[in-house]
Structure formats: C-alpha cells, structure tokens
Amino acid sequence: MSATATSPLPGKRGPGTAQATDQSVAVSAKPVTWKTPVMLALLALVAFVFFGLMGPNQTAEFGISTGGDFFQLPAVEVPAFLGGIVLSVILLGLAAYAVFLKTKGQAAPAWLPITFTVLFVTAFLIWVVGGARTPSISLAGLIAGSVTLAVPLVFGSLSGVLCERVGVVNIAIEGQLLGGAFTAAMVATMTRNPFLGLLAAAVAGAVVSMVLAVFSIKYLVNQIIVGVVLNVLVSGLTGFLFSTVMQANKAQFNSPVGLDNIEIPVLSGIPIIGPILFKQTLVGYLMYVAVIVVWLGLFKTKWGLRVRAVGEHPQAADTLGINVNATRFWNVTIGGAIAGIGGSFFTLVAIDSFTKEISGGRGFIALAALIFGRWNPIGAFFAALLFGFADNLQSIVTIIGTPVPSQFMAMLPYLVTVLAVAGLVGRSRPPAASGIPYVKG
Amino acid sequence: MSDKHPRKHSAGQHAKPVGASPAAEETAAAVALDTAGGAMEPSAVPATAQSGKLPGGSETLARRIFTGSGMVSVLAVLLALIIGGLLIASTDERVGATSTYLFARPSDFLSAVWTAATGSYVALFQGAIFNPLASSVGVQFAPLMETLTIATPLITAGLGVALAFRAGLFNIGAQGQIIMAGILAAWVGFALHLPVGLHLLLVLVAGIVGGALWGGLVGLLKARTGAHEVILTIMFNYVALYFLGYLLNTPAFQRPGESNPISPILDPTAVYPQILGSQYRLHLGFILAIAATVLVWWLLNRSTVGFEFRAVGANPKAAQTAGINVSRSTILVMAIAGALAGMSGVAQVAGTEKVLTDGVAATYGFDAITVALLGRSTPWGTFAAGLLFGAFRAGAVQMQIQTGTPIDIVLVVQSLIVLFIAAPPLVRAVFGLNPRRRKPAKAGRSQKAATTGGAA
C-alpha cells in the first residue's frame, strides 16, 4: 500500500493505488520524482566501481575506417583503466547534477539522460573490449552491424506505434514479422523477383493485422488474447507450410532472390556513417523513410491528429465525427504491412532462405523498443538501434573473448525494458485508450 | 494500464437508441459490463462469460443449449478441426494430383481430401488415446498414459494463467516461471543428497518457491509502479531463458565431462515415482495436478482470498472501494500463479525429463495460455483443456510418424480453437445460430437489462 502513501493526493483517488499515483502525477503539475536521479546515481556508481576501479589494464583499440573508405582515419586507442575512471567520474557528475536539480524541485532536462546513456554505453564498451583476449574491435563494423540487426526491430516497433497510437495493443508483431518473412521467401522464389517478394511480405503482414483488427474491433475480443494467439497461429501455419511445401521442393519455393546493397557513390565512403546511411539494401533505406514518414504523419498531419485522438479519447473523437473503428482498422492494417516489410529483411537480406521461427522473438524486442521509445517513432527507432547494438555486441564479445557471458548481453534489452516500464528510467505512458475496445453508445 | 485514466461517461451512454438490433444491444451491454463502461481494459475472461449464460437470456431452452457457451466451445473445436483438415488436405500430394482433373471427376478429389484429413486425425487419435493395432491391452492404452504425462505441466501452468485471468491479470510469464522453478528444483535434485521422501519434498518446494518468486516479482512491480504485467512477463520470460542458458554453461550446473548445456541427472530420491508402473512415463505429478485443480477451485469459489481475486478481476475500482487491498491481491495472485507454473517446472525436471536442459519448458508456458483460454479460466475447464491439448501434443508425434503431417498443425488447430472461442458471435454466424431479431416488446425489456447491466 505504500504506493498510495506516496501519492500527492492520498485518498482522493481511491482505486487503482499505484496507477492512481501515476495518474495524478501525469495530470497535476508533474511533481519531480526521485526515480531518475536515484537511478542515474546507482548506474554511475556501478560504472565507477566496475568500469573504473575494477577496470582492465589493457588498451582498448577501436578501428574507425574500413578498407573501402575514401579517406582513412587512425584507430582510436583508449587506455581502459583511465578511460573508465574518466567516463565514470563524468557520469557521477551528471547524476549529482540531476540530484541537485531535484533538490531545487526541477526535472532533469532531456539531454541529461541521453548524454548519460551515451557515456555509459561508451564506458561499458571500453570495459568490455579492454578486458577481452584481443582488445580490438572495428567500431565501424560494430555500428554498421547494429543498424543491420535493428532493421526488423525498427519496422516492428513502427507497426506497434501505429497500432497503439490508435488504441489497439499489438502483441502480434512477432507474427507479422514471421508472416512477412515466409511470404517474402515464397513469392521471391516463385517470381524470381525480390521486389514482388517485398510487396507480398507487406500484404502478408497486413493480413495478419486484419485478423487482429477484425477480432478485436468487430468481435471485441481482448486484444492481447488475439495478439498472443495470432503469434502461435502464424508460427504454426508457417512451420506447417515450411515442412510440407518448402522442404519438399526447396529450389521451387525456398531459394529467394535477395535484395542487393545499393551503394551511393562517394557518400558511402564516409567513415562510420557512410555504410549506415548510404550503403543499404532497399529495405534498409525504406526503414529510414518509414521512420520519418510515420513521425511526420502522426505529429504533423490532420490524419495523425485524428489517429492520436482515437487512441487517447475515442469518445471525444467520435463526437467530432471521426469514425473510430474504421480509423483503428486501417491503422492496424497499415501497421501490419510495415511489420511485414520488416519481416522480409530476414529472408531477402539476412539469410537466403526461410527456416522455422526465423524471427526468433524479435517481435517482442520490437515491442520492448516501442515502449522504451515511449510510443514515439523516433524514440522507437533509437531504442531499436540500441537493442540492435546489444544484439551485435553479444556476438562480437563471444568472438573477442570477454569476461561478460554473452547471455547477459542478450538479456540487456529485456532488463532495460523492465526498468523502463517500471518507471525507473523516465516515465512511459501508453496512449490512454490502448487496449480498450470502442462501442459506440 | 488503462485504469489509471478513468474517464467520465454520461449516464445516457448505456441507453441504446430504440430500434437498434438486439444482438448489437447485447454486445454493447456486455462490453459496457466488461470494461466498466469503457474505462478499463476488458478482462481476459469477460464477466458475461463467467456466468455461462448469455446476457438478456429471454430465450427458449433449446436455443439456449445450442447457443450457450458450452456449445460454442464444442463448435469452435469442430470448426478448428475442419480448417486444420482442409489445410492438411491442401498440401497433400494425392489431393494435388486429383485437383488437376477436378471438373472431370470431382469424386476423386473429394475422396482424396477426405482421406488426407481423416487419415491424419485417425493417426492423431491413435497416438493420443487408444491404439487398437497394438499387441496387448497395456500397450493399447500407452498413448493415453502419454497424453496424461504431457497434460500434467499443461494443466498446472494453465491453472496459473487461469487464476491470474480471474484476477484481471494477463500472465504470459508461465514460460519464465517454469524455467525458474526448473532451475531451483533441478539444483536441489542433483546437488543435494537427502533421504527418500524429504528430498522429493524439498525439490517440490524449491520449484514452487522459484516459480512463486518469479511470478510474485511481476506482481510486486505491477502493484508498486503500475507497469503492465503483459510487458513485464514477456521480458521476464526472456531473462529467465538466458539465465538458464548461462547457468547450464557454468560448472555448478553443467554435467561433468559434458560440453552440451545439460545438467547432471537428478538423484533417484528426487524424482516423482511412476504411478502406473515403469512401462508408462506417467508420474506422481499428474496426481498433484489434480490436487492443484481442486485447490484452485476451492481457492476461487470457497475462500475469501479467491473472492477478492475475482472482485479485483471484475472491477478493481469497485474492489478498492469495497475495502479490498488491490496491491496485495495483485502480488499474491501473481505469486500463486507462479507457484502453479512452478509445479509444471517440477513435473518436467523431476517427472518427465529427470534432467535440466535449455528446453525444460518446451512451449508449455505459451500453451498454458491457450489452455486457460479454452478452459474459460475455470479450474475444471482448464483441467479438461489441458487434457485435450495434451492429447493433441501426444497424438501429433504419432501423426507425424504415420502420415508425415507436421506437428505444427497442432499449433494451428490450438490457436484457431482459442480464436473462435473468444468470438462466439463468429462461431454462431458460421453455424447459422445467431439469435433472430426479436419482437419490439421483448427488445424493450432487454434494453432495460442492458441499462442495468451497464451500471453494474
């Protein structure tokens, strides 16, 4: 019951305890909580003890340029111990500043947690690489790989953003990715045309989404139930067709023509950002386009305003003449199409054939990214990049041989998300009507 | 997630316009009841479904039998099986061959479809219940014993999910709870060496505590911070999975001299006895699953705590107003749900597998969700659904061997069943059982019922 005790309006909002606390926090003049400063201080202490005091005594080397770049930069060498100490002291300083602001009743500015995160990750990277058997990695490769791994996550989380912003919880991202991957492989093989495969993946994702929409909007079934069940259904369906159709005749059904890298001359030779921005496949470029379009659409157009109104207060939206359920239906469908395109990444870019469960739970990481990104396309994009980074780092640490078990690296996105939804890192608030069906009354 | 944003509704919201179709009215009334007038997410188990009869029930007995929720369940299973059969037939070679001359001789095509679908289902039945081709009676019933063995973890984990549903919580975390329970139970089983009886008891307790802690942590986080349990449980599943992967590569858990991630075999004193002799894998865990079902039934229907759970599940705000400690209920129900899932973990490591591997939970945790949904979150419904899905699982293995139909078809059928059960109007529409439009006089009566229903 301590939750109600900390509420600024004890007893006034009886029910809901913890939720009621959040509510009053959100509605009243946003009193600053101790959560963020305390969390930052804890993390800074962890950084100071582990990355600083217990830091390794080697020099960590980070390669910047790759052979293909049009000018070469020397590799950066950081003495791990010193680097850890310096960075963690800065982190402690930032945390102290947040505590100072709190004592004056002010919230930490937005740049503070972002800077903190960047420095923390850097310190962590120096610590990991410095403690490895071969203390050298290619930073360019690490970042390019992270972006590649993040592609399906970004598409998946954009799908989630579109659905949740309009008031439909989308747990079926995993199913949409998997459906997209399967269809892309099948169609790209049968037509020998990867672009048709891409299109088919979008259609498949949209179909999965339509089932979600029909069951949750028309039949008013609990959206989480439909999502969970759809994941199982798509997994079973693709697994069944994979075993019966694809495996029987691999050449005819499961050897898709992949999408090639499109290299933009000169620009792609810029170190680090060249490969990320200018040396991608079509799906990779579409990712950037999708993030910008969804963001602009949601926050700068009339359509987006309506969508958000439906997600926050459907009754008000209805009163103003917006067709709530139609808006929801089409938004969810578009979301599914976007996730489907993300699914095509698995079979058209990453691997050259479909296998069972090829999406491997990335739909759930995408869900995590959307929450960590606070239901905002840009936020979800960076969260997905962070999770892609963790994913990539996990395979790299296994190769260079560090003391951190790779399983703990793999856990990171999930733990970070738990901290995020528990409100320990910032405040995450879903759209108010997310998950609630709307019946015109 | 939503109940922190209460919205006000005018009293007139529930008054339906005159002349609206009765079916639409019923749906609207049911939704109003389930969502507390649109202020909160609908419970996973609609309040209207828990009583087992449709709202507005001014119908003939015969119609009620054919449109009631029990009938819908049966029809949903039937519909899912039909669709599954069509899917099997569509990928069958003989069906493909006969379809080329479909219009010349449709009978060939139809009989091929029939053979393909029924052949698989007959094999499924033989692998799940009774195999008449076997040599002795004991072997003939071996499939049934296998079904019960596989059903054991499904039932207990399903009970955990169902209990949480009744308290309005969506526990997707059975998978992680099974894993955590498995880790603790297995460690007690192979690392400690204790006398007969005490050892097994300790294994059971360790597993239950492991599951309860992992589930209770979710409840605690939800109660304290308002974080949504769906997100928490999904994330906790992965954390548990990677934690298990890590442990199985450490000397404390890895079998000496083994490079694969597998634990030592549990001591003979730490495993469940096989209750029907050594020829079947069926173990004591099944009896405990029955006991757990009785316990959950008692808890939900006869105890104060269970009443509080259901009250919180039906409407947390009303429960709070009535003096129920919602935070405590949330933590407690998640801990008990975790403990029940923990029993599945124990059944796996101490009963069926006798070792800890990274596949200890298989997909039981996720299947448990469908089991609970099919069982409409009642204890005995979950028990029956666990048996049904256990039979599917056991039979599918045999089906794959005999007819080459992949095991994945079971996932399709399972998920279709749950989808259809969740949408009774769809099933009734498919079988043409939707209630007819009633006369205006009766419509007026049900409108009144809708109004009072909405206010409740």
**Most confident among A46-50, A204-208, A226-230, A392-396 (mean pLDDT):** A204-208
Partner-chain contact B228 A421, CB within 8 Å = yes
pLDDT of residue A197: 94
CB B407 within 8 A of CB B389: no
pLDDT at A251 over 70: yes
In a domain, B183, yes or no: yes
Residue B71: band (very low, low, confident or very high) from pLDDT cuts 50, 70, 90: confident
Mean pLDDT of B35-42: 59
Tell me the residue range of the domain where B286 lies.
146-389
Cβ pair A366, A385 in contact under 8 A: no
pLDDT at A23: 40
From chain B, the residues in CB contact with A436 under 8 A are 2, 35, 38-42
The alpha helices in B51-141, defined as continuous H runs, are 61-67, 69-90, 93-99, 106-128, 137-140
Tell me the mean pLDDT in the region B232-250: 92
**One domain, residues B266 and B341:** yes
Q: Taking a C-beta distance cutoff of 8 angstroms, is the pair A108, A380 a contact?
A: no
SS3 letters for chain A? CHHHHCCCCCCCCCCCCHHHHHHHHHHCCCCCCCHHHHHHHHHHHHHHHHHHHCCCCCEEEEECCCCCCCCCCCCEEEEHHHHHHHHHHHHHHHHHHHHHHHHCCCCCCCHHHHHHHHHHHHHHHHHHHHCCCCCEEEHHHHHHHHHHHHHHHHHHHHHHHHHHHCCCCCCCHHHHHHHHHHHHHHHHHHHCCHHHHHHHHHHHHHHHHHHHHHHHHHCCCCHHHHHHHHHHHHHHHHHHHHHHHHCCCHHHHCCCCCCCCEECCCHHHCCCHHHHHHEECHHHHHHHHHHHHHHHHHHHCHHHHHHHHHHHCHHHHHHCCCCHHHHHHHHHHHHHHHHHHHHHHHHHHHCCCCCCCCCCCHHHHHHHHHHHCCCCHHHHHHHHHHHHHHHHHHHHHHHHCCCCCHHHHHHHHHHHHHHHHCCCCCCCCCCCCCCCCCCCC
- How far, in Å, CA of B228 to CA of B170, rounded? 9
A315/B9 touch (CB, cutoff 8 Å), yes or no:
yes
Is the confidence at residue B48, as pLDDT, over 90?
no
CB contact under 8 A, A15 and B425: no
C-alpha to C-alpha distance for A376 and A389, rounded to whole angstroms: 20
Nearest CA in chain B to A417: B235
Identify whether B53 is part of a domain: no
Range scoring the smallest mean pLDDT among B35-39, B241-245, B331-335: B35-39
Encode burial over B70-95: b for 16+ CB neighbours within 10 A, e otherwise.
ebbbebbbebbbeebbebbbbbbeeb
How many whole angstroms separate alpha carbon B351 and alpha carbon B361?
A: 13
Tokens of residue B205, six digits: 């307790």
* Mean pLDDT, rounded, for B430-440: 65
Residue B253 one-letter amino acid? F
**Residue B358 contacts A where some CB pair is shorter than 8 Å:** no
The values of phi and psi at residue B228, to 5°, are -75, 135
Cβ atoms of residues B173 and B214 within 8 Å: yes
Cα–Cα distance, B150 to A190 (Å, whole number): 40
* Contact assignment for A215 to B326 by CB distance below 8 Å: no
A407 closest CB neighbour out of B30, B236, B242: B242
Q: What does the DSSP 8-state code read for residue B102? A: T
Bridge partners for A136 per DSSP: A61
Residues B203 and B237 both lie in one domain = yes
B226 closest CB neighbour out of A18, A215, A371: A18
Q: Per-residue confidence at A21, pLDDT binned at 50, 70, 90?
A: very low
- Among A397-401, B135-139, B419-423, which is the least confidently predicted range? A397-401
For residues A192 and A40, which has the higher predicted lDDT (pLDDT)? A192
Proportion of chain B above pLDDT 70, given as a percent: 80
Name, in order, each residue with C-beta under 8 angstroms of B324's C-beta and a sequence gap of 6 or more. Answer: B308, B311, B312
Q: Which tens digit of pLDDT belongs to each residue from B312-336? A: 988 888 999 999 999 999 999 999 9
pLDDT at A426 exceeding the cut of 70:
no
State mean pLDDT over B197-207: 94
Distance between CA B424 and CA B377 in Å, rounded? 16
Residues B341 and B235 in one domain: yes
* Rounded average pLDDT over B95-105: 79
Q: From B371, B377, B204, select the one nearest B297 (Cα to Cα).
A: B377
What is the pLDDT averaged over residues B153-179?
Answer: 94
Among the ranges given (A110-119, A277-286, B446-455), the one the predictor scored with the smallest mean pLDDT: B446-455
Once rounded to an integer, what is the mean pLDDT over residues B50-65?
50
pLDDT confidence of residue A32: 65
Residue-level pLDDT at A420: 75
C-alpha torsion sign, points A24, A25, A26, A28: positive
- B65 pLDDT higher than 70: no
Count how many pairs of residues, chain A against chain B, have C-beta atoms within 8 Å: 218
Band (A142; pLDDT cuts 50, 70, 90): confident
Which residues of chain A lie closer than 8 angstroms to B40, CB-CB? 436
**Opening angle at CA B230, ends B286 and B180, nearest 5:** 45
> What is the rounded CA–CA span in Å between residue A27 and residue A12?
14
User: What is chain A's mean pLDDT, rounded?
Assistant: 83
- Rounded to the nearest angstrom, the minimum Cα separation between A221 and chain B is 6
| Number of compact structural domains in chain B | 2
What does the pLDDT average to over B275-280?
A: 82
Same domain for B182 and B110, yes or no, is no
Q: Looking at the predicted structure, is the pLDDT value of residue B154 above 70? A: yes
Of B11 and B182, the structure prediction assigns the larger pLDDT to: B182
Query: Do residues B189 and B214 make contact, with C-beta atoms less than 8 angstroms apart?
Result: no
Give the nearest partner residue to A219 out of B2, B410, B425, using CB atoms: B425
Contact B415 A435 (CB under 8 A): no
Q: Does B450 score more than 50 pLDDT?
A: no
Nearest one of A280, A287, A272 to A143, comparing CA atoms? A272
Q: Determine the residue of chain B that is closest to A212 in CA distance.
A: B419
Nearest-CA distance from A30 to chain B in Å?
15
Q: What is the pLDDT of residue B45?
A: 54
Please list, in sequence order, all residues whose beta carbon lies within 8 angstroms of the beta carbon of residue B209, skipping any fewer than 6 positions away: B184, B339, B342
pLDDT digits (tens, 9 = 90+) for A69-128: 666 677 778 888 888 888 889 989 988 888 888 888 877 777 887 888 888 888 888 888
Q: What is the mean pLDDT of residues B48-55?
A: 43
CA–CA dist B187, B253 (Å, integer)? 7
Q: Using 50, 70 and 90 to split pLDDT, how confident is the model at A277?
A: confident
- Among positive and negative, which fits the CA dihedral A58, A59, A65, A67? negative
Instruction: Report d(CA A387, CA A393) in Å as an integer.
Output: 10
In a domain, B233, yes or no: yes
Q: Is pLDDT above 80 for B242?
A: yes
Q: Is residue B436 part of a domain?
A: no
Nearest chain A alpha carbon to B363: A232
Contact, B426 vs B420, CB < 8 A? yes
Is the pLDDT higher at A23 or at B38? B38
The DSSP bridge pattern shows strands A59-63 and A76-79 to be antiparallel
Q: What is the pLDDT of residue A180?
A: 96
For residue A430, the chain B residues in CB contact (below 8 A) are: 1, 228
Same domain? B87 vs B206: no
Q: Which of B389, B420, B449 is the last residue of a domain?
A: B389
Instruction: Pick the residue of A414, A424, A438, A440 with the most B CBs within 10 A to test the interface with B by mutation.
Output: A414
Q: CB B38 to CB A438 under 8 A?
A: yes
Domain-located, residue B281: yes
What does each C-alpha distance from B2 to A376, B35, B38, B41, B63 come to in angstroms?
Answer: 19, 10, 10, 6, 37
Say whether both B113 and B159 belong to one domain: no
Q: What local confidence, expressed as pLDDT, does residue B60 receive? A: 58
Same domain, B426 and B295: no
Confidence band, pLDDT 50/70/90 cuts, at residue B30: low
Rounded Cα distance between B264 and B251, Å, is: 11
Instruction: List beta partners, residue A60.
Output: A78
> What is the per-residue pLDDT for A400?
76
Rounded mean pLDDT, B34-62:
52
Q: How confident is the model at residue A3 (pLDDT cuts 50, 70, 90)?
A: very low
Pair B121, B156 in one domain:
no
State the smallest CA–CA distance between residue A276 and chain B in angstroms.
29
Q: Is residue B396 part of a domain?
A: no
Residues of chain B found within 8 Å of residue A230, distances taken between Cβ atoms = 415
pLDDT above 60 for A17:
no
Cβ distance B227 to A421 less than 8 Å, yes or no, reads: yes
Pairwise pLDDT comparison (B205 vs A422), residue with the higher score: B205
Sign of dihedral through CA atoms B4, B7, B8, B9? Answer: negative
Mean pLDDT of chain B: 82
pLDDT band at B207 (very low <50, low <70, confident <90, very high): very high
- B38 in a structural domain: no
Choose among A222, A230, A244: nearest Cβ to B44: A222
Contact B91 A368 (CB under 8 A): no
- Considering the domain architecture, whether residues B334 and B187 belong to the same structural domain is answered as yes
Residue type, A70: F
Residue B385 lies in a domain: yes
pLDDT value of residue A347: 93
| pLDDT tens string A44-62 | 888 888 888 877 778 888 8
CB contacts of A21 in chain B (<8 Å) are 226
**Predicted confidence (pLDDT) at residue B33 exceeds the cutoff of 70:** no
Q: Are residues B117 and B231 in the same domain?
A: no
Nearest CA in chain B to A367: B231
B415 touches chain A (CB under 8 A): yes
Residue B138: the pLDDT is 79
CA distance B230 to A160: 15
Longest dimension (CA), chain B: 80
Contact A17 B319 (CB under 8 A): no
A138 DSSP β-pair partners: A63
Torsion sign (Cα): B272, B278, B282, B288: negative
Same structural domain for residues B351 and B427?
Answer: no
A168, A332 Cβ separation under 8 angstroms:
yes
Total residue length of chain A:
441
Tokens of B36: 């507390």
Among A2, A215, A243, beta carbon nearest to B423? A215
Spell out which residues of chain A touch residue B44, defining contact as CB-CB under 8 Å.
222, 224-225
Whether the predicted interface score ipTM is above 0.90? no
Mean per-residue pLDDT, B195-201: 92
CB B161 within 8 A of CB B369: yes
Segment B385-408 shows an average pLDDT of 90
A234-255 average pLDDT score: 90
What's the average model confidence in pLDDT over A351-360? 89
Taking an 8 Å cut-off on Cβ atoms, the answer to whether B4 and A22 are in contact is yes
User: Which CATH number characterizes residue B185's domain?
Assistant: 1.10.3470
Distance CA A127, CA A424 (A): 24
pLDDT at B52 over 60: no
pLDDT value, residue B206: 96
**Contact residues, chain B, for A325 at CB < 8 Å:** none
Does B417 lie in the same domain as B332? no
